[in-house]
Structure 1
Amino acid sequence: MSVLGLSPWHLWIIAGVLLITAEIFVSGFVMAGLGFGALCAALGHYLGGELGWALLGYALGTLAFFVGIRPFALRTFMNQEPSRFGVRGMVGKQVTVMDSPDVGGDYYTMFRDSRWALESEDDLMEGDLAEVVGVKTSTLIVKRLPR
């Protein structure tokens, strides 16, 4: 089968080059990953001669790009830091320890308009300042700051 006198693997190469070129307009190495997959599909179609091999090459090439190459490229070329939103954004923040009004109740804090239970290896007292070092479900793991 040929389209415009081109073999199917030629079309995969053209699609791959166009997708990699489109990466200029879309950041994040997404289009480049799809283009890399298309180039792998071209290789699979050329070597195997069937569409099934091309689709397998596309799937494996795209998967390899997004799992292995893309994270490396983001760190290297875009200096992208890990996300500081949501739970990850809480780590490193300071909170004030509050004591539960219930007898024998646990310590808690108010952080971002929500009540959070506290867990710490340090001895905490009401009014202490603590730094969030981790988050476990609905509990903040904190380290007491020096007074």
Structure 2
Amino acid sequence: MVYYIYLILAVLCFIGELFSMDFSLACFGVGLLGAAGVSALGLGLGWQVLVFIAVAGALFVGIRPLALKHLYHANKHVKMNVDALIGRRVTVLTAPDGENIGRVQTDGDNWRAQFAAPAAAGEEVQVEKVDGNTLFVVPIQTQEEK
């Protein structure tokens, strides 16, 4: 193969890497760059394949696990959806009634709330748990005393 074919394939691998983001296509792209270099020096197909396998394999086995560990370590513990509400402070919109039911607001969202203790409108309380569309809230000072 002529070296520019390897270069075109390497560029395609790097473009594909932008969509996959798992560092595997980048390893193959760098391997193809190595094969292009060997091809440009005029060495035969056997050397080109050997350099491609050596470079791509070394990156895939040696560098890829380290890259994935450092790129995605923080994303494993990100709370999503209603799990992110637990422990947050919310503002009371409507004070609880006789059944300890009221309304709270967080990030512009209005939620039904079950209160563990009386609270006044405008006061901040903390979300203890979520059940369906109801937030179970407790006074902040009670949570800090625990």
Taking structure 1 as the reference length, the TM-score comes to 0.46
Greater Rg over alpha carbons, structure: 2
Give the number of the structure whose residues are more often helix, by fraction: 2
Taking structure 2 as the reference length, the TM-score comes to 0.46
